[in-house]
Structure 1
Amino acid sequence: MRILVTGFTANYGGVESLVMGYYREMKKLDDALVFDLLGYADEPAYREEIARLGGKVYTVPSPKHAGHRKALKEFFHVHGGEYDALWCNKCDLHDIGYLQAARSCIPKRILHAHSSRLNYDGVRMWLFGFLHRVHKAQASACATDLWACSDWAAEWMFPRHKFSDVRFVPNAIRLETFTFDGEARQAYRDQLSVSGTVYGCVGRLNENKNIAFALRAFRHVWEQQRDSYLLVVGTGELEAAHKAEAAAMPCKNNVIFLGMRQDVPQLLQAMDCLLMPSLFEGFPVAPIEAQAAGLPVFAASDGITPQARLTDLFHFLPLSLGPEGWAEQILKADLARKDCLGELREKGFDITAAAQQLLDAFRQ
């Protein structure tokens, strides 16, 4: 079975990591399964691993280039018949060219919703919002299968009369990867030169992750708890702005930007708490990983689906409390680790079991 996957960027982000996690597990179950990538990025994330697993990576010009439609039409004319399914991963519907072009040549066309709001500003927010609304019914008509990571993502992406057709695909992970390891914790703390209470943020440094709020909350925490640190894991368009803000804070020496990392499970071992004041999400992977690692999570009730609260380690706080209010709640909380792997497994977030279910869905 050969699947054409879209939605990858050059960033090793949530969507890319989720798809690859499923692919690795499904490949163990069916060695004949092959994923090819189609996208706009010249160097999409995981391209080397895709190639090692037998897949190909194709690029076409983005919609802002004049040759986009012609290149897309030509690609599907030449290659469309090679695929059993299209797995179209989307955060919004301003561009549905893949689905439209695949309609005549790929029998199974999956539209997978991963977000719950637009992540743009200015004119693009207005234009892409308009296109999203216009394309909503058309995209669902082009797709044969509708998948979503959460209720919020389904409501954002699909017409209401289609909700009964939606398959909810858990953002499952390899749970055992996050089992607490005291030696790894100490080794990473030594490597990072951190001690005391270590807070963390994991995710792309863009507007919706609201990292500036986390920085300000940490400043208030640090004022009461000087032996504390904040690790910021990820890159993005706001990285320079966040670094500049942190550099102007009195706690600047206790804020560490780690960039894009492939060792997030180990970094979570070094942490004591995850902060996630997101403005909006579909169903973020980072708090699932944190709960698997036994970490308390403080997340924005305004921007994260209630479905993300998988264990008692997860705490919702409204953004209206402000950074100082968040700091007060965090400082009062019990940050003791707790083994929740069994709970997460029971709720379907073990990728070993989830991969078999997804493979069956591809075969249907």
Structure 2
Amino acid sequence: MNLLLATDASVERSGVCLFILNWVREIRKYDSDSFITVYFRKSIIDNDIFNQYKELNVDVVLGGISLNGTNFSSQNRKKIFSDIQNIIRNNNIDVVHVNSSAIGFSSQVLKIAKKENVPIRISHSHGKHLGNGIKNLYLWYLKRCICRDANVYAGCSLEAGKYLFGNQVNNSDKWHFIPNTIDVHKYGFDPDIRDEYRQKLSLKEDDILLGATGMLTKIKNHAFLLPLIYELNKTTGLNYKLVVFGEGEERKRINEIATELGITDSVVLYGVSSEISNWLSAMDVYVMPSLTEGLPIGAVEAQANGLTCILSDCISNDIDIADVIHIPIDKGIKPWMDTLAGFKRKNAEQRLDGARKMIDAGFDISSTRDYILKLYGPK
């Protein structure tokens, strides 16, 4: 098998990039011979993630297109066309698996793959409402092109599938639900790790640690959490802390808000970490106030750790396996305060049960391995 995995993302510690990394790692457990190329439209943000790809004997190709660029400039279209065509032609690619909900990027890659007669062409949707500012009519046209040029439709949730492929996913033989699976055992709760990592933040036993992961972008909406922390500490008599893992253009704004509210002692913008599985054990609650998501891999990891997950109502209910609460994001912080003010910390046994629930629900990557490989066709 000669496989091309393509995404419009950067090499970073984000959902789609980690999904592809987990998937390649799973393939390599059973198949060390297949040729695998991963194409990233953008660039390297996290060298640790890049090195993990290289250790798996993967050919990583970078488009190098600006983080602030658009797929639709003539220069960028030509660059993507040239990159993808060269990969397909030079490596006799027989499976193209596009992991993206970026309409322009997906339509370009699949069009080239069909033109080059690649037998298996998979469009895998990981989100919704990601039109990159494209006008509705053109957006509709590009979605039609994706449906025409892909011969396998996949999505991390039914909502993500409907966003890219329309209501035909309800009765199409091309449609396949592929959840954002992880190595569940890696993310299980560890009480000793919890004590060690809470000490790194100088936390007291009764401090309630809220945790969030993901790039610091407007869509992830981490700034929403700052007045929440301020009001909780002001009104409940308890001590709430927030730690956020990730980098992005919102870092400066989030820091400024924390300073204005006088809560810099309660908020830690940790940056990128390769130890998320350990840090989850240190947390008490996982929070995700995103304005839009598909089926976020961070919430899958958090549930495997047994954390209570408080998510915005913009996130698909398909993620609800272990302990998830959805709260409206457009009603302000009050409903979030009410939920967190009544929070009761889980004991170790309850936390350890999270991994079992995620395995039983099919969210361990071993559950999807054979299914996806079957979509790829005979080895």
TM-score normalized with structure 1 length: 0.91
User: How far off is 1:360 after superposition?
Assistant: 2.4
Segments of structure 1 that go 5 or more residues without pairing to the other structure are: none
For residues 84 and 199 of structure 2, the distance between their equivalents in structure 1, rounded to whole angstroms, comes to 52
Change (3 A) 1:252 1:75: closer
Alignment of 1:101-116 (within 5 A): 101-105=112-116, 106-116=118-128
Q: Is the 8 A contact 1:61 1:68 kept in 2?
A: no
Change (3 A) 1:299 1:60: closer
- Alignment RMSD (CA, Å): 2.1
1:249 corresponds in structure 2 to 261
Residue identity opposite 2:335 in structure 1: G
2:157 corresponds in structure 1 to 150
1:202 corresponds in structure 2 to 213
Change (3 A) 1:204 1:44: closer
For residues 189 and 162 of structure 1, the distance between their equivalents in structure 2, rounded to whole angstroms, comes to 45
Q: Does 1:314 align with 2:317?
A: no
Q: Is the 8 A contact 2:128 2:293 kept in 1?
A: yes
**Number of aligned residue pairs:** 357
1:360 corresponds in structure 2 to 374
Change (3 A) 1:328 1:61: closer
For residues 166 and 42 of structure 1, the distance between their equivalents in structure 2, rounded to whole angstroms, comes to 31
% identical equivalent positions: 23
SS in 2 for 1:109: strand
For residues 273 and 5 of structure 1, the distance between their equivalents in structure 2, rounded to whole angstroms, comes to 34
For residues 17 and 74 of structure 1, the distance between their equivalents in structure 2, rounded to whole angstroms, comes to 26
For residues 349 and 256 of structure 1, the distance between their equivalents in structure 2, rounded to whole angstroms, comes to 30
For residues 330 and 166 of structure 2, the distance between their equivalents in structure 1, rounded to whole angstroms, comes to 31
Which one is further off, 238-247 or 326-335? 326-335
Change (3 A) 1:61 1:218: closer
Residue identity opposite 2:88 in structure 1: G
Change (3 A) 1:71 1:306: closer
2:94 corresponds in structure 1 to 84
Q: Does 1:35 align with 2:36?
A: yes
Segments of structure 2 that go 5 or more residues without pairing to the other structure are: 66-70
Alignment of 1:200-279 (within 5 A): 200-223=211-234, 224-279=236-291
For residues 86 and 241 of structure 2, the distance between their equivalents in structure 1, rounded to whole angstroms, comes to 53
For residues 317 and 240 of structure 1, the distance between their equivalents in structure 2, rounded to whole angstroms, comes to 26
Which one is further off, 354-363 or 63-72? 63-72
1:325 corresponds in structure 2 to 335
For residues 48 and 356 of structure 1, the distance between their equivalents in structure 2, rounded to whole angstroms, comes to 26
User: How far off is 1:14 after superposition?
Assistant: 0.3
Residue identity opposite 2:191 in structure 1: G
Which one is further off, 130-139 or 235-244? 130-139
Residue identity opposite 2:324 in structure 1: F
1:348 corresponds in structure 2 to 362
For residues 107 and 193 of structure 1, the distance between their equivalents in structure 2, rounded to whole angstroms, comes to 55
Cα deviation digits, residues 48-74 of structure 1 (max 9, x gap): 333332222223464466444444444
User: How far off is 1:229 after superposition?
Assistant: 0.9
SS in 2 for 1:349: coil
Change (3 A) 1:213 1:53: same
Match of 1:137 among 122, 144, 148: 144
SS in 2 for 1:231: strand
1:192 corresponds in structure 2 to 201
Cα deviation digits, residues 168-210 of structure 1 (max 9, x gap): 1111111111222111111111112123111111111112211
Residue identity opposite 1:2 in structure 2: N
User: How far off is 1:76 after superposition?
Assistant: 4.8
Q: Is the 8 A contact 2:12 2:44 kept in 1?
A: no
Cα deviation digits, residues 31-90 of structure 1 (max 9, x gap): 223321223324375333333322222234644664444444444554424212111111
Change (3 A) 1:322 1:238: same
User: How far off is 1:2 after superposition?
Assistant: 2.0
2:68 corresponds in structure 1 to none
For residues 299 and 61 of structure 1, the distance between their equivalents in structure 2, rounded to whole angstroms, comes to 33
Q: Is the 8 A contact 1:94 1:131 kept in 2?
A: no
Change (3 A) 1:71 1:202: closer
Residue identity opposite 2:17 in structure 1: E
Q: Does 1:15 align with 2:49?
A: no
Match of 1:49 among 29, 47, 52: 52
